[in-house]
Amino acid sequence: MNTTQTSGHIELRGLSMAFGSAQQRVQAVSDVSLHVSPGEFVSIIGPSGCGKSTLLNVVAGFTKATEGEVRLDGRAISGPGSDRGVVFQQYSLFPWMSVRRNVEFGLKMQGVPASKRETTARTLLGLAGLLAFENHYPDQLSGGMKQRVGIVRALATSPQVMLMDEPFGALDSQTRVVMQQILTNMWQRLRLSVLFITHDIEEAIFLSDRVYVMTARPGRIKAEIEIPLPRPRTAEMMSSLVFTQILHKLRNLIREESLVAMGNELDSGGLEGFAVDVGTHGVGELI
Protein backbone atom coordinates (compact mmCIF):
# COMPACT_ATOMS: atom_id res chain seq x y z
CA MET A 1 0.00 0.00 0.00
CA ASN A 2 1.19 3.49 -0.74
CA THR A 3 1.28 5.47 2.46
CA THR A 4 1.79 8.83 0.75
CA GLN A 5 -1.54 8.67 -1.06
CA THR A 6 -4.28 10.44 0.88
CA SER A 7 -7.31 10.29 -1.42
CA GLY A 8 -9.19 7.39 -2.90
CA HIS A 9 -10.56 5.86 0.29
CA ILE A 10 -13.58 3.67 -0.49
CA GLU A 11 -15.86 2.52 2.33
CA LEU A 12 -18.91 0.29 2.03
CA ARG A 13 -21.00 -0.13 5.16
CA GLY A 14 -23.87 -2.57 5.54
CA LEU A 15 -24.54 -2.58 1.82
CA SER A 16 -27.50 -4.65 0.62
CA MET A 17 -29.01 -4.84 -2.82
CA ALA A 18 -32.21 -6.52 -3.97
CA PHE A 19 -33.69 -6.60 -7.45
CA GLY A 20 -37.26 -7.13 -8.63
CA SER A 21 -40.72 -6.78 -7.17
CA ALA A 22 -41.95 -8.13 -3.83
CA GLN A 23 -43.09 -11.46 -5.40
CA GLN A 24 -39.92 -11.98 -7.41
CA ARG A 25 -37.33 -10.44 -5.19
CA VAL A 26 -33.69 -11.38 -5.76
CA GLN A 27 -31.41 -10.53 -2.89
CA ALA A 28 -28.12 -10.04 -4.73
CA VAL A 29 -25.91 -8.66 -1.97
CA SER A 30 -26.45 -8.73 1.78
CA ASP A 31 -24.81 -6.56 4.44
CA VAL A 32 -21.43 -6.08 2.80
CA SER A 33 -18.89 -3.93 4.56
CA LEU A 34 -15.46 -3.46 3.03
CA HIS A 35 -12.89 -0.80 2.37
CA VAL A 36 -10.07 0.15 0.05
CA SER A 37 -7.43 2.39 1.61
CA PRO A 38 -5.85 5.19 -0.41
CA GLY A 39 -3.42 3.67 -2.93
CA GLU A 40 -4.40 0.09 -2.11
CA PHE A 41 -5.12 -2.66 -4.65
CA VAL A 42 -8.05 -4.78 -3.46
CA SER A 43 -9.75 -7.65 -5.28
CA ILE A 44 -13.09 -9.32 -4.79
CA ILE A 45 -13.56 -12.95 -5.79
CA GLY A 46 -16.61 -15.15 -5.43
CA PRO A 47 -18.83 -17.59 -7.32
CA SER A 48 -20.75 -16.50 -10.40
CA GLY A 49 -23.90 -14.55 -9.56
CA CYS A 50 -22.84 -13.69 -6.00
CA GLY A 51 -23.20 -9.97 -6.57
CA LYS A 52 -19.69 -8.80 -7.49
CA SER A 53 -20.77 -6.68 -10.46
CA THR A 54 -23.70 -5.38 -8.45
CA LEU A 55 -21.30 -4.12 -5.78
CA LEU A 56 -19.02 -2.51 -8.33
CA ASN A 57 -21.94 -0.81 -10.06
CA VAL A 58 -23.03 0.69 -6.76
CA VAL A 59 -19.53 2.05 -6.12
CA ALA A 60 -19.42 3.39 -9.69
CA GLY A 61 -22.71 5.17 -8.97
CA PHE A 62 -24.58 3.39 -11.80
CA THR A 63 -27.07 1.82 -9.36
CA LYS A 64 -28.26 2.73 -5.90
CA ALA A 65 -28.08 0.23 -3.04
CA THR A 66 -31.25 -0.86 -1.27
CA GLU A 67 -29.55 -0.38 2.09
CA GLY A 68 -26.24 0.80 3.44
CA GLU A 69 -23.79 3.42 2.37
CA VAL A 70 -20.84 3.89 0.06
CA ARG A 71 -18.37 6.66 0.68
CA LEU A 72 -15.42 7.93 -1.28
CA ASP A 73 -13.10 10.03 0.85
CA GLY A 74 -15.91 10.47 3.34
CA ARG A 75 -18.50 11.70 0.82
CA ALA A 76 -21.56 9.60 0.02
CA ILE A 77 -21.60 8.42 -3.59
CA SER A 78 -24.77 9.52 -5.34
CA GLY A 79 -23.93 8.92 -9.01
CA PRO A 80 -21.08 8.40 -11.48
CA GLY A 81 -18.15 10.81 -11.32
CA SER A 82 -14.76 11.52 -12.85
CA ASP A 83 -13.19 10.64 -9.48
CA ARG A 84 -13.82 6.98 -10.43
CA GLY A 85 -12.49 5.33 -13.59
CA VAL A 86 -14.37 2.21 -14.66
CA VAL A 87 -13.17 -0.68 -16.84
CA PHE A 88 -15.43 -3.56 -17.84
CA GLN A 89 -14.78 -6.85 -19.60
CA GLN A 90 -16.14 -5.44 -22.87
CA TYR A 91 -13.73 -2.98 -24.45
CA SER A 92 -16.27 -0.20 -25.12
CA LEU A 93 -13.91 1.94 -27.19
CA PHE A 94 -15.26 4.33 -29.81
CA PRO A 95 -14.47 2.51 -33.09
CA TRP A 96 -14.41 5.70 -35.17
CA MET A 97 -11.75 7.36 -33.00
CA SER A 98 -8.02 6.68 -33.04
CA VAL A 99 -6.40 5.22 -29.93
CA ARG A 100 -5.21 8.64 -28.81
CA ARG A 101 -8.60 10.30 -29.44
CA ASN A 102 -10.24 7.55 -27.40
CA VAL A 103 -7.88 8.25 -24.53
CA GLU A 104 -8.37 12.01 -24.83
CA PHE A 105 -12.16 11.78 -24.91
CA GLY A 106 -12.82 12.27 -21.17
CA LEU A 107 -10.34 15.13 -21.00
CA LYS A 108 -12.00 16.81 -23.98
CA MET A 109 -15.35 16.55 -22.20
CA GLN A 110 -13.74 18.29 -19.23
CA GLY A 111 -12.55 21.12 -21.48
CA VAL A 112 -8.84 20.33 -21.14
CA PRO A 113 -6.86 22.12 -23.89
CA ALA A 114 -5.61 20.04 -26.85
CA SER A 115 -1.90 20.26 -26.05
CA LYS A 116 -2.44 19.14 -22.44
CA ARG A 117 -4.72 16.32 -23.60
CA GLU A 118 -2.11 15.10 -26.00
CA THR A 119 0.67 15.14 -23.40
CA THR A 120 -1.44 13.22 -20.87
CA ALA A 121 -2.61 10.67 -23.44
CA ARG A 122 0.88 10.06 -24.81
CA THR A 123 2.39 9.69 -21.33
CA LEU A 124 -0.18 7.08 -20.32
CA LEU A 125 -0.03 5.28 -23.66
CA GLY A 126 3.74 5.10 -23.18
CA LEU A 127 3.28 3.49 -19.74
CA ALA A 128 0.98 0.90 -21.31
CA GLY A 129 3.42 0.22 -24.17
CA LEU A 130 0.99 1.60 -26.74
CA LEU A 131 2.61 4.81 -27.93
CA ALA A 132 3.43 3.30 -31.33
CA PHE A 133 -0.29 2.64 -31.81
CA GLU A 134 -1.64 6.08 -30.94
CA ASN A 135 -2.95 6.65 -34.47
CA HIS A 136 -4.39 3.16 -34.93
CA TYR A 137 -8.11 2.45 -34.71
CA PRO A 138 -9.61 -0.07 -32.27
CA ASP A 139 -10.36 -2.69 -34.93
CA GLN A 140 -6.65 -2.72 -35.83
CA LEU A 141 -5.75 -3.85 -32.29
CA SER A 142 -5.71 -7.20 -30.51
CA GLY A 143 -8.03 -7.81 -27.56
CA GLY A 144 -5.26 -7.23 -25.05
CA MET A 145 -4.29 -3.94 -26.69
CA LYS A 146 -7.91 -2.76 -26.77
CA GLN A 147 -8.25 -3.46 -23.09
CA ARG A 148 -5.02 -1.59 -22.39
CA VAL A 149 -6.47 1.39 -24.26
CA GLY A 150 -9.61 1.03 -22.13
CA ILE A 151 -7.51 1.15 -18.96
CA VAL A 152 -5.49 4.11 -20.20
CA ARG A 153 -8.70 5.93 -21.15
CA ALA A 154 -10.10 5.38 -17.66
CA LEU A 155 -6.85 6.69 -16.16
CA ALA A 156 -6.64 9.78 -18.36
CA THR A 157 -8.89 11.96 -16.21
CA SER A 158 -6.74 11.20 -13.13
CA PRO A 159 -9.39 9.40 -11.09
CA GLN A 160 -8.70 8.72 -7.42
CA VAL A 161 -9.91 5.16 -7.83
CA MET A 162 -10.19 2.55 -10.57
CA LEU A 163 -13.09 0.12 -10.57
CA MET A 164 -12.40 -2.92 -12.72
CA ASP A 165 -14.96 -5.65 -13.38
CA GLU A 166 -13.23 -8.75 -14.76
CA PRO A 167 -11.25 -6.59 -17.20
CA PHE A 168 -9.20 -9.53 -18.52
CA GLY A 169 -12.07 -12.02 -18.56
CA ALA A 170 -12.36 -12.09 -22.35
CA LEU A 171 -8.64 -12.55 -22.99
CA ASP A 172 -6.74 -15.78 -23.57
CA SER A 173 -4.58 -16.98 -20.68
CA GLN A 174 -1.22 -15.89 -22.17
CA THR A 175 -2.49 -12.37 -22.90
CA ARG A 176 -4.01 -12.24 -19.43
CA VAL A 177 -0.67 -12.89 -17.78
CA VAL A 178 0.95 -10.11 -19.80
CA MET A 179 -1.91 -7.74 -18.94
CA GLN A 180 -1.57 -8.54 -15.25
CA GLN A 181 2.10 -7.62 -15.37
CA ILE A 182 1.38 -4.39 -17.28
CA LEU A 183 -1.38 -3.44 -14.85
CA THR A 184 0.72 -4.07 -11.77
CA ASN A 185 3.60 -2.06 -13.29
CA MET A 186 1.24 0.84 -14.12
CA TRP A 187 -0.30 0.73 -10.66
CA GLN A 188 3.17 0.76 -9.10
CA ARG A 189 3.87 4.01 -10.98
CA LEU A 190 0.51 5.71 -10.47
CA ARG A 191 -0.51 4.31 -7.08
CA LEU A 192 -4.20 4.99 -7.12
CA SER A 193 -6.77 2.88 -5.26
CA VAL A 194 -8.10 -0.08 -7.23
CA LEU A 195 -11.17 -2.23 -6.61
CA PHE A 196 -10.73 -5.20 -8.92
CA ILE A 197 -13.20 -8.00 -9.57
CA THR A 198 -12.05 -11.29 -10.96
CA HIS A 199 -12.96 -14.95 -10.95
CA ASP A 200 -9.29 -15.87 -11.42
CA ILE A 201 -7.77 -16.67 -8.02
CA GLU A 202 -4.15 -16.42 -9.20
CA GLU A 203 -4.85 -13.07 -10.81
CA ALA A 204 -6.32 -11.78 -7.55
CA ILE A 205 -3.28 -12.91 -5.54
CA PHE A 206 -0.74 -11.64 -8.06
CA LEU A 207 -2.23 -8.15 -8.27
CA SER A 208 -3.63 -7.42 -4.82
CA ASP A 209 -2.68 -6.14 -1.41
CA ARG A 210 -5.85 -7.71 -0.03
CA VAL A 211 -8.53 -10.05 -1.36
CA TYR A 212 -12.15 -10.30 -0.22
CA VAL A 213 -13.94 -13.59 -0.82
CA MET A 214 -17.70 -13.41 -1.23
CA THR A 215 -20.24 -16.11 -0.39
CA ALA A 216 -22.72 -17.53 -2.88
CA ARG A 217 -25.79 -15.33 -3.40
CA PRO A 218 -26.83 -13.35 -1.48
CA GLY A 219 -23.24 -12.19 -1.50
CA ARG A 220 -21.66 -11.51 1.86
CA ILE A 221 -18.02 -11.17 2.79
CA LYS A 222 -16.80 -14.64 3.70
CA ALA A 223 -13.10 -13.90 4.20
CA GLU A 224 -10.50 -11.19 3.89
CA ILE A 225 -6.97 -12.27 3.02
CA GLU A 226 -3.83 -10.13 3.12
CA ILE A 227 -1.31 -10.79 0.34
CA PRO A 228 2.10 -10.21 1.90
CA LEU A 229 4.09 -10.58 -1.35
CA PRO A 230 6.63 -7.78 -1.86
CA ARG A 231 6.37 -5.16 -4.60
CA PRO A 232 7.09 -4.93 -7.44
CA ARG A 233 5.38 -8.20 -8.23
CA THR A 234 7.08 -10.58 -10.63
CA ALA A 235 6.02 -13.79 -12.35
CA GLU A 236 8.54 -15.77 -10.26
CA MET A 237 6.54 -14.96 -7.12
CA MET A 238 3.75 -17.14 -8.43
CA SER A 239 5.79 -20.23 -7.58
CA SER A 240 6.75 -19.00 -4.08
CA LEU A 241 5.57 -20.77 -0.95
CA VAL A 242 3.54 -17.76 0.20
CA PHE A 243 1.72 -17.59 -3.13
CA THR A 244 1.02 -21.33 -3.16
CA GLN A 245 -0.30 -21.33 0.41
CA ILE A 246 -2.68 -18.45 -0.25
CA LEU A 247 -3.79 -20.06 -3.51
CA HIS A 248 -4.64 -23.26 -1.65
CA LYS A 249 -6.59 -21.38 1.01
CA LEU A 250 -8.54 -19.29 -1.49
CA ARG A 251 -9.33 -22.32 -3.67
CA ASN A 252 -10.85 -24.07 -0.66
CA LEU A 253 -12.93 -21.03 0.25
CA ILE A 254 -14.18 -20.64 -3.32
CA ARG A 255 -14.88 -24.35 -3.66
CA GLU A 256 -17.15 -24.25 -0.61
CA GLU A 257 -19.10 -21.36 -2.05
CA SER A 258 -19.27 -22.82 -5.55
CA LEU A 259 -20.85 -25.93 -4.05
CA VAL A 260 -23.40 -23.76 -2.24
CA ALA A 261 -24.11 -21.91 -5.49
CA MET A 262 -24.54 -25.24 -7.27
CA GLY A 263 -26.95 -26.40 -4.55
CA ASN A 264 -28.96 -23.20 -4.93
CA GLU A 265 -29.23 -23.76 -8.67
CA LEU A 266 -30.45 -27.32 -8.14
CA ASP A 267 -32.98 -26.17 -5.50
CA SER A 268 -34.36 -23.59 -7.87
CA GLY A 269 -35.10 -26.20 -10.50
CA GLY A 270 -32.11 -26.91 -12.65
CA LEU A 271 -28.70 -25.88 -13.75
CA GLU A 272 -29.76 -23.39 -16.39
CA GLY A 273 -27.14 -20.70 -16.62
CA PHE A 274 -25.05 -22.52 -14.07
CA ALA A 275 -21.44 -21.50 -13.99
CA VAL A 276 -18.86 -21.90 -11.30
CA ASP A 277 -16.16 -19.29 -11.28
CA VAL A 278 -13.09 -21.33 -10.58
CA GLY A 279 -10.49 -19.32 -12.42
CA THR A 280 -8.23 -21.25 -14.70
CA HIS A 281 -9.00 -24.53 -12.94
CA GLY A 282 -11.64 -26.91 -14.14
CA VAL A 283 -14.61 -27.70 -11.97
CA GLY A 284 -13.51 -31.35 -12.01
CA GLU A 285 -10.23 -30.46 -10.37
CA LEU A 286 -11.90 -28.45 -7.65
CA ILE A 287 -14.83 -30.60 -6.63
Those residues with Cβ within 8 angstroms of residue 211's Cβ, 6 or more apart along the chain or in another chain: 42, 43, 44, 45, 204, 205, 224, 225, 227, 250
**In this complex, which beta carbon is closest to ligand ADP, that of residue 20 or of residue 80?**
20
State which residue, 48 or 98, has the beta carbon closest to Mg ion. 48
Of residues 46 and 167, the one with the C-beta less far from ligand ADP: 46
Q: Judged by CB, which is closer to ligand ADP: 21, or 115?
A: 21
Between helix 114-127 and helix 143-156 the angle, nearest 10°, is: 130
Judged by DSSP in three states, 14 sits in: strand
Binding partner of residue 28 among Mg ion, ligand ADP, none, CB cut-off 5 to 8 Å per kind: ligand ADP
Q: What is the DSSP string of 157-224?
A: T--SEEEEESTTTTS-HHHHHHHHHHHHHHHHHH--EEEEE-S-HHHHHHH-SEEEEEPSSSB-EEEE
Q: What residues make contact with ligand ADP under the rule CB under 6 A?
A: 19-20, 26, 28, 46, 48-54, 217
User: According to the binding rule CB under 5 A, does residue 53 interact with Mg ion?
Assistant: yes
Binding piece for Mg ion, criterion CB under 5 A, among 47-55, 81-89, 182-190, 231-239: 47-55
* Least Å from the CB of residue 19 to ligand ADP: 3
Q: Which is nearer to Mg ion, 37 or 53 (CB)?
A: 53
Return the number of the residue (120 or 208) whose C-beta is nearest ligand ADP. Answer: 208
Nearest approach, Cβ of residue 196 and ligand ADP (Å): 13
Phi then psi dihedrals of residue 110, to 5 deg: -85, 0
CB of 16 to Mg ion, least distance (A): 17
d(CA 90, CA 77): 24
Beta carbon of residue 203, minimum distance to ligand ADP (angstroms, whole number): 15
DSSP class of residue 276? Answer: -
Tell me which amino acid residue 234 is: T
Partner whose footprint covers residue 171, from ligand ADP, Mg ion, none (CB < 5 to 8 Å by kind): none
Q: How far is CA 97 from CA 101, 114, 125, 139, 200, in A?
A: 6, 15, 15, 10, 32
Distance CA 136, CA 140 (A): 6
| The one segment of 22-30, 46-54, 83-91, 154-162 that binds Mg ion by CB under 5 A | 46-54
Q: Please tell me whether residue 258 binds Mg ion under the rule CB under 5 A.
A: no
Give the shortest CB-63-to-ligand ADP separation in angstroms. Answer: 8
Under DSSP, the state recorded for 111 is T
Q: Of the two residues 52 and 100, which places its CB atom closer to ligand ADP in the complex? A: 52
Compute the least distance from the CB of residue 26 to ligand ADP, in Å. 5
93 binds, among ligand ADP, Mg ion, none (CB under 5 to 8 A by kind): none
- Is residue 36 within 8 A of residue 164, CB to CB? The reply is no
Q: Which residues bind Mg ion (CB under 5 A)?
A: 52-53
